[in-house]
Amino acid sequence: MRALYLTSHDSPPTLTERPEPVPGRGEIRLRIASCGLNFADLLMLKGTYQDTPPLPFIMGMEVAGTVDALGDGVSGFAPGDRVAVYGGQGGLAETGCFSADRAVHLPDSMDFTTAAAFQIAYGTSHLALDHRARLQPGETLLVLGAAGGVGLTAVEIGKLMRARVVACARGADKLQVARQAGADHLIDAATQDIRAEMKALGGCDVVYDAVGGEQFTAAFRSCKPEGRILTIGFASGEVPQIKANHLLVKNLSVMGLYWGGYLAFKPKVLTDSLAQLLKWHAEGRLHPHVSHVLPLDQALDGMELMRSRKSTGKIVITL
């Protein structure tokens, strides 16, 4: 089988032939149809992601495909089943073996491209806004990086939760994508002062930050008393440093969200969230945005689109 294989953090992965895997106990094997790219893939290339697998490994965190073999002890799945899996690795290959515990059956309403773009982006935003920040109807939500893979889902889910959503992104094209996802107000991070714009809107109750850097600082200063700030990622490359004494002045809370981490200590929180998201999709209330669909031999081009911020929503690689 063909696979995108990473052997060193000092050189790019290569598309190479690998032996087709055999499922172990508790595993299913998939004929992979599609794999979603994530910003974490860029960090894994450098070995800086918090959950980077040991070298060497096949890249690709979330996949969708068809079950074609079962390992010992697997129940609830059969060859021919359409599933999605968050595996953390192994997705950019024609075939892969994954823990059955991480697989979910796909509804008929969801195709493989959508499924590969769905779990991490929507799961991250739903857990962040609902489970962590407890976003309430009528509150003001500021989304930084609002046209990106997770940011766009935060706009959409924030509207479903009946918040007033302010989308912040760079450039008119990206802001238009955020508007189509339901944003009530738009801020162009390239030309407008985030703090001044938010002050005019009365401040924010919740900040969803996948960017970090200067935008975090501006959003921090825009919070209302008892505001909650969600740290999702640092696409700017700059991790903010927070002065603890500034938190107490307005009784602010800063909280982190690593979606995949819930598999280790509270998996039911994650699976319940995913069930709700799949229900919303089946009801036509979620509309995943995929800006690029590329073949496996262009997977590195897809990563460069993310790195250079030339994509919106998700990029999906088809096998």
CATH number for position 60: 3.90.180.10
CA distances from 208 to 117, 167, 220, 302 (A): 20, 10, 11, 25
CA distances from 247 to 11, 144, 298, 299 (A): 41, 20, 45, 42
Do 246 and 141 share a domain, yes or no? yes
213, part of any domain: yes
273, part of any domain: no
pLDDT in the model for residue 290: 96
pTM above 0.75, yes or no: yes
**Cβ 73 vs Cβ 28: under 8 Å:** no
Do 241 and 192 share a domain, yes or no? yes
Residue 285 has pLDDT above 90, yes or no: yes
- pLDDT band at residue 72 using 50, 70 and 90 as cut-offs: very high
pLDDT in the model for residue 109: 87
223, part of any domain: yes
- H or E element that contains 272: helix 267-282
CA geometry: angle 4, 5, 6, nearest 5 deg: 125
Q: Please report the DSSP string for 69-97 in residue order.
A: EE-TT--S--TT-EEEEE-SS--SBSEEE
Do 189 and 110 share a domain, yes or no? no
Do 55 and 99 share a domain, yes or no? yes
79, part of any domain: yes
CA geometry: angle 66, 68, 71, nearest 5 deg: 120
193, part of any domain: yes
Query: Across all residues in the chain, what is the average pLDDT?
Result: 95
- pLDDT band at residue 15 using 50, 70 and 90 as cut-offs: very high
207, part of any domain: yes
**Three-state secondary-structure class, residue 303:** helix
283, part of any domain: no
pLDDT in the model for residue 115: 96
Q: Say what percent of the chain tops pLDDT 90.
A: 93
Edge-to-edge strand order for the sheet containing 57-58? Answer: 14-17, 2-6, 57-58
Residues in CB range of 200: below 8 A, 6 or more apart: none
Do 184 and 240 share a domain, yes or no? yes
pLDDT in the model for residue 225: 97
- Per residue in 86-107, pLDDT tens? 999 999 999 999 999 999 999 9
- pLDDT band at residue 271 using 50, 70 and 90 as cut-offs: confident
- Per residue in 110-168, pLDDT tens? 999 999 999 999 999 999 999 999 999 999 999 999 999 999 999 999 999 999 999 99
Which CATH number do you get for residue 148? Answer: 3.40.50.720
251, part of any domain: yes
Do 78 and 110 share a domain, yes or no? yes
Residue 273 has pLDDT above 90, yes or no: yes
Do 96 and 165 share a domain, yes or no? no
Do 84 and 111 share a domain, yes or no? yes
Give the bridge partners for 4, in sequence order.
Answer: 15
Do 78 and 38 share a domain, yes or no? yes
**Short-list 274, 267, 225, 247, CA closest to 115:** 274
Of 236, 258, 280, the residue at which a domain comes to its end is: 258
Average pLDDT score over residue span 258-286 = 91
- Looking at the 3D structure of the chain, how many domains does it have? 2
Average pLDDT score over residue span 244-261 = 93
Domain of residue 215 covers 121-258
Do 113 and 49 share a domain, yes or no? yes
